[in-house]
Copies of this chain bind each other. A is one copy, B any other.
């Protein structure tokens, strides 16, 4: 009912994503997903045979939103500083538009870590390339010498974590929803600034 009934299969996927995100895999009920999609529960099993397969369909769809954008940036021939800026911007914008995407992915991490890693590999994300670039630019003196692992981890941490911890941050720092949106908007520049100023040589 919520979604147009033009395409049942698609509206199931939408409802499933909604419910799985809020409740997690174990907390989600097939009946609830069916209700949300405005259909009979048996119809879920008609389109996606099992709960597992339904989840997997949702999961793959979600990853297809995340991966392509990040990959194209990582592989583009621009300096590290620019990549940091672009990734911050793209990542935060993506998560701002799909606020529970981070929570959904991390639900899956604790449920089935292996599968996510495999999807990463299949997506063609090659960590070696960015590592090479970072060590190269460090040797050239463009940036301070730093382990690629830490730089990337710092970047992703600062972009993603606020969305996972959103309610805690809001509560702790006394923000309302508008404040939080503003806060997230600011991070588009704060994160690159933090990383770049810590990476700029000549102190």
Contacts and interface: CB of A to CB of B under 8 A. Distances in A.
Query: DSSP class of A's interface residues: helix, strand, loop or mixed?
Result: helix
10 contacts: A25-B27, A106-B110, A116-B171, A120-B172, A150-B183, A153-B158, A153-B162, A156-B161, A157-B160, A195-B198
Given A106-B165, A109-B167, 7 more contacts: A109-B165, A114-B167, A117-B168, A117-B170, A127-B172, A149-B183, A164-B164
A121 interface: yes
Interface size class of A (residues with CB under 8 A): 35 or more
B24 A168 contact: no
A157 B161 contact: yes
Interface string A170-189: 11111100000001001100
B194 A195 contact: yes
A194 B160 CA distance: 18
A23 B111 CA distance: 7
Count the copies: 2
Contacts of A73: none
A125 interface: yes
Contacts of A171: 113, 116-117, 120-121
Identify which of A22, A117, A120, A195 gathers the most chain B CB atoms within 10 Å of its CB. Answer: A117
